[in-house]
Structure formats: structure tokens, C-alpha cells
Amino acid sequence: MKKRMKLKGRIKFFTHFSIYLGALLAAVDVAVFLLDVRSGLLLLGYTIFYFGVIIPLYFYNKPIIMNELVSFATEYGQIQRKLLRDLDVPYALLDDGGRVIWTNAAFENVVHQPKGYNKSITSLFPTITRDKLPDDSGLDEAQYELHYEECEYLAKFRKISLREMAKHSDIIDIEGYEGYLIAVYLFDETALRIALQELDDQSLAAGMIYLDNYEEALESVEEVRRSLLTALIDRKINKYISSLDGISKKLEKDKYLIILRKKAITQLQESRFDLLEEVKTVNIGNEMAVTISIGIGLNGLSYAQNYEFCRNAIDLALGRGGDQAVIKTPDSITYYGGKSQQVEKNTRVKARVKAHALREIITAKDRVLVMGHRMPDVDSFGSAVGIYRIARALDRKANIVLTESTSAIQPLVDLFKNSPEYDEDMIITGSQAQELAESNTVLVVVDVNKPSITECPELLRSCKSVVVLDHHRAGAETIENATLSYVEPYASSACEMVSEVLQYISDGIKIRPEEADSMYSGIMVDTNNFVTKTGVRTFEAAAYLRRSGADVTRVRKLFREDALEYKARADAVSQAEIYRQAFAISVCTAEDLPSPTVIGAQAANELLNIKGVKASFVLTDYQGKIYVSARSIDEVNVQIIMERMGGGGHMSVAACQMEGTGLVEAIGILKGTLDEMLDGGEI
């Protein structure tokens, strides 16, 4: 469409005023004609003369006036342009395609480009692409943070419609023009961000340090040298914290409160909390190295909140077995260390205390629901059976929640379903359990502390009283507000923990052979036939179960494999790839088997028998998910690897699940995680 410029507003009225007067004169002439014809003719002649002079002058002067107005506007624009040119704020104009069409001196100094630079803004700032600029889609303004040549800028973009600009003009109007420009402002915020960063670095962080094995380490030293060991540990911790310009205060014999600046926490992260390893070097003849746990609270709204964060962090560190540091912020939890095996506690005092607490909780309720994790294994079911026996011994109605049993536990499930000694509703589904859940029901969760992978997560919300017994390391996601929580990562299995509780829960409690077999099976499977994570208390628990009627031969016959499962496991082992000369990675393709994930876990155990293999990973594609079983002996902490991939577990036994991912992609993710953690020194 052809563009046409025209006058409007008061200037239009002024230039047309003589025409309006001529029209008024013509009207007067008509009135005079009605009164006197000769006077009317005389006035008509004057009117014709008036129009003969005014109309040529109008058409002659109109372009001159328009030119004068344009000249004035140009001179006025030059003044504005001069001001913009010398403006201290970097300023530029872009066309609707994002190309630079004009810049001021300050902008040219920032980007080090001469006057007349007319390339795309993206060539100057690669992060500012065309789709981020204001356009016709309705985005009129935008702002982005830019890092350019060691400086920090806030870039603001504003759309300038030429047609809209003309509409607000009192002089001229432009019809049929839809173009627009984009104004760019750069605000230098380097000094502001440096000041904010410095302020943030100076903010205080609260922390706590616990000695994990204080009593055990002292017992391994001569009595006269124990005070020296304590003094050396104090000196090591105080000197390290002082080097970071922090404060450490000993609260108890094995607990310290530390106050640090946030900048010091960054230094600790960069060194990957080497204090964990330095404390282990304190040795005056003690047979057992001292390990510590560190909890740090950051970025809270107040000092009190940071302290609460650090208390939660130290609880997580201790719940995961100690010898590690945990940093908790409002948004995330970060773990460091955790490379040492957990130290088994020789005393059973805690087990006795927890058993008495459990008895009080159960006797105060009418019904007990026992729940393990989804796709339960022998340890999960065996420990549930142990809790069932406790509830029945206390004369309380009990049910085990089991929606779908796997082939791994089916032989045990059949033992109870086919026995007339047990109620028909001993084992119920998740939906049936929700109907039974009420205010006078206690829910006991065994072999899991992650709510999302329990057999029926809805039960956690339905039951007000919840008890947790587990041997897995705690992660970021835990069952909150549990009435009783008994989580011991050093234990070999949940069945071991329940076996200990059984011995203290009531005098003269009788365990049936089927129940003893179930718990003995759980210990045997989780320890890989008493090879992995086996301690003194593991054998004591097994001996107790053996005295209670567990039959080793009967258990072995229950868990014999069929030929297809044996071949599937052998096939997974034979196809293993040794990655980076230390990690065995394989795929279990047991598609026709009822529980291929169990076969994958068994194959991962088998791969550890290969010389040079520090950790093994077997991936199984089952029901639309990729299940990763991870195993190690002692050199690699597979738990932190699986946690990086969204799972968890123990230092030597861990796993994760991946949804929406193929096997090839999952292997790539696993290898990428291993590379990243190896290069970063995390494993």
C-alpha cells in the first residue's frame, strides 16, 4: 500500500481555517440575496474573488508547510539523536529481523564494533537468538542476563511500532505501515553482582560434625592413650575449621558445632570435604580408623533455619552409614564421601529400646498392617512375616500387604497360603488394606524408607501411626513423621533387624518353622549366602532363627532355580562389557521369565567374581521400565552412582529405575554418569 502523509489535530484546523471562512461567506451571500438582490450580487463577486485567491494559495502553501514541519521534526530528531548518541547507557536499534541498524557510542565501546555495524544481534551475543526478541506474537518486552567480556549486563529489549508511534503524534499520521523497531538497552550490573556475591559469600552457614565410631575407636586403644587420641582428633578438626576462618565448638565428647562463611563451604566442596580423609589419618595405635559425619545447612531464611537444615543433614549422614558430608539447602541435598564400609555396632541396646517402643505402639492399636516395597524380594517378605508374628504374639490382628507376588517370593507365599495355621486374609492387596486402614491401625513399613516405591504409598497417608524398619541408607526422599523409625545401614538385611527385635519384644515368643524359614531366607539372599555385608550380629540372628526351626536344606530347596532362569543369568554374564577396565556392564534379556529383575540382580553378583571388576551393573527392561542392579565388593560405592541416576541402596548393593528410556540410551546414561564421577574424583 502506498504510504500517504497528512496533517491532523490543531495544525490541520489552522491550515483549513481560510476555507472554513469562505464557506461562511458563501452562506452569508445566500442570506443577503434573499434581502437584496443587488447587494447579493456584489457580495457574490467578492466571494468568487476570495475563493480565487485562497484556493491557489492553499494548494501552493500546503507542500511548503509540510516541508517546514518535516524540517522542524528533522532538526528536533537530530537533537534527540545527539542526546542518544552521547548517552552513557549503551543503546542500539534493531530492525524487525534482529539486525543492528543504529548504535550509540557507549554501545560501540562495549561491543568493540565501529559505527555502522549492521549484523545480527546474535553475532554479538550468541545467547540472544531471534526467538528471544520481541515480535508480532505479542511479546513486546524482554530482558535477559548477559555475560560479556568479564562483565555482567542486564539487556532490555523493547518493541517500537512505527504505526503506533505515529498515532500518538499531534502533527502527522502514517497509513498502511506495519513495521517496527527494537530498542536495546544494556545496564552494567557487574559491580552490583560482585557486591551481592560478596554479601552471599559472607552469609553464615551452620554445621555439625559427629564422630561415627568414637566408642569403638577408643576401645581399640590402650586406656592411658585414649585422651591423646581424643586430643589429636580435636586438634585436627579445630585446625581445619580455623584454616577456613570458621569456628568450631565441642558440644559433647563426639559432637562439634561449626560456624562457617558460605564461601568456606564452596572451598570444602571443591576439596570434596577432604577433612573426612584427614581425620582417618589420626592413628596412635588404634586398630580402627576414626570416621566422621558432617552436616551443613545453607541458604536458609534465618540462622535458626540453617541450624535446622544442618541437623537434618547430619541425621541423613548418620542414617546413610556415616563417613560422609551432607549439605542441605531449601532446594537440594548434596552428598560427599561415603567411601567406607559401615561399622557394625556390637551392642544390642538400640535393638532392645526399639523393640520395647514397637511393643508399646502395637499394643495401643487394634490392627497392624505390614508393607514392604514394590516388587518385593525375599528380605521384604521375610521381615514382613516377622512383624506379623510379633503382632500375633501381642494378640493383635495383622495383615501383610502384598498386591502382586514375584516368582522370587512365590514359594514362601505358598507356604502360608496352603497352611491351615494361618488366616485366609493374612495376605491382602493394597486396595483391601486401604479399606482396613483407620485411626486405630498402625502401619509397619519394612525393607524400604522411600515412600514412592512402597507397595501401597496411599497407606502412608491413610494411617496416622507409621513405623519404619529398614537397613537401606536414607536418601533425600524419606517417610516423614514416622512414629518410630529404626533405620540401620550397617545391618545386612531387614530380616536380621526383625530377628533381633523378636528376641526382645516379648518373653517366650514362639516362631513357626515357616516364619523362621522366611526370615532366614531373607538374610541368606541379601548377604549372597553370607558373603556380602555379613557381621557378627548377622550370624547371631541366623543362629537364633536356626534354633527357632529354620531348616537350611528346606530353604535351599525352596529357592532352586529352573533351567530357563539359570540360562538367562548365564547369558547376562557372558555378554558383559568391561568398561574402563573396572566396571562390568551387561543386559538381562529374560523377557519370558516372571521376575527378570531378580535374575539381573543375581547376574550382577556373579560378575563380581571376575578379576579386576570393581563394580557390576546389569540392566533389565521390564514392564516399560529399565531396572539397573548395581553391585560392588569394597572399592566402589555404587549407592552414590545409583543416587545420581535417581535410585539408591547400600555402598555395595544398590539399584535404580528409569522410565521412558530404552536400553541403549540407559547404557549411555550409565556410562556418562561413571565418566563424570570418575573425572570428578567422586568414585
Percentage of the chain beyond pLDDT 90 is: 22
Going 615 to 619 to 625 to 631, the CA torsion angle's sign is negative
Q: Are 308 and 295 in contact (CB under 8 A)?
A: no
Distant-in-sequence, close-in-space partners of 540: CB < 8 Å, separation ≥ 6: none
Angstrom CA distances, 470 to 158, 379, 475, stand at 58, 10, 12
DSSP string, 449-512: --GGGBS-THHHHH-SEEEEEE-SPP-SS--TT-SEEEE-TTSS-HHHHHHHHHHHHSTT----
The pLDDT of residue 164? 57
Model confidence at 345, pLDDT cuts 50, 70, 90, reads low
Delimit the domains of the chain by residue range. Answer: 5-84, 93-195, 203-337, 349-558, 564-679
The CATH architecture that domain 349-558 belongs to is Alpha-Beta Complex (3.90)
pLDDT of 168 strictly over 60: no
Long-range pairs for 309-317: beta carbons < 8 A, 24 or more residues apart: 309/206, 310/205, 310/206, 310/207, 310/208, 311/208, 313/208, 314/208, 314/210, 315/474, 316/474, 316/475, 316/476, 317/210, 317/293
> What is the CA 122 to chain-centroid distance, rounded?
32
The pLDDT of residue 80? 65
pLDDT tens-place string over residues 641-658: 988 888 887 778 888 988
- C-alpha to C-alpha distance for 83 and 77, rounded to whole angstroms: 10
Of 333, 283, 265, 304, residue with least CA distance to 640 = 333
Question: What is the CATH number that goes with domain 203-337?
Answer: 3.30.70.270
pLDDT tens-place string over residues 473-484: 776 678 877 888
Question: What is the CATH number that goes with domain 564-679?
Answer: 3.10.310.30
Grid cell for residue 378: 525375599
Q: 349-558 and 564-679: same fold?
A: no
pLDDT of 341 strictly over 70: no
Model confidence at 225, pLDDT cuts 50, 70, 90, reads confident
- C-alpha to C-alpha distance for 337 and 339, rounded to whole angstroms: 6
pLDDT of 82 strictly over 80: no
DSSP code for 531: T
- Average pLDDT taken over every residue of the chain: 83
Q: Are 651 and 632 in contact (CB under 8 A)?
A: yes
The pLDDT of residue 383? 93
DSSP code for 121: G
Q: Which residue has the cell 578438626?
A: 237
| Element containing residue 383 per DSSP (H, E) | helix 378-393
Grid cell for residue 676: 563424570
Q: Are 469 and 462 in contact (CB under 8 A)?
A: no
378-395: average pLDDT: 92
Q: Which residue has the cell 524408607?
A: 449
pLDDT tens-place string over residues 409-442: 888 888 888 888 888 889 999 889 888 888 889 9
Q: Are 430 and 403 in contact (CB under 8 A)?
A: yes
pLDDT of 207 strictly over 50: yes
Most confident by average pLDDT, 11-15, 96-100, 161-165, 492-496: 492-496
Grid cell for residue 428: 491382602
89-112: average pLDDT: 82
Identify any residues that bridge with 187 across adjacent strands, giving them in sequence order.
154
pLDDT tens-place string over residues 577-615: 999 888 999 999 877 777 788 888 889 988 998 888 999
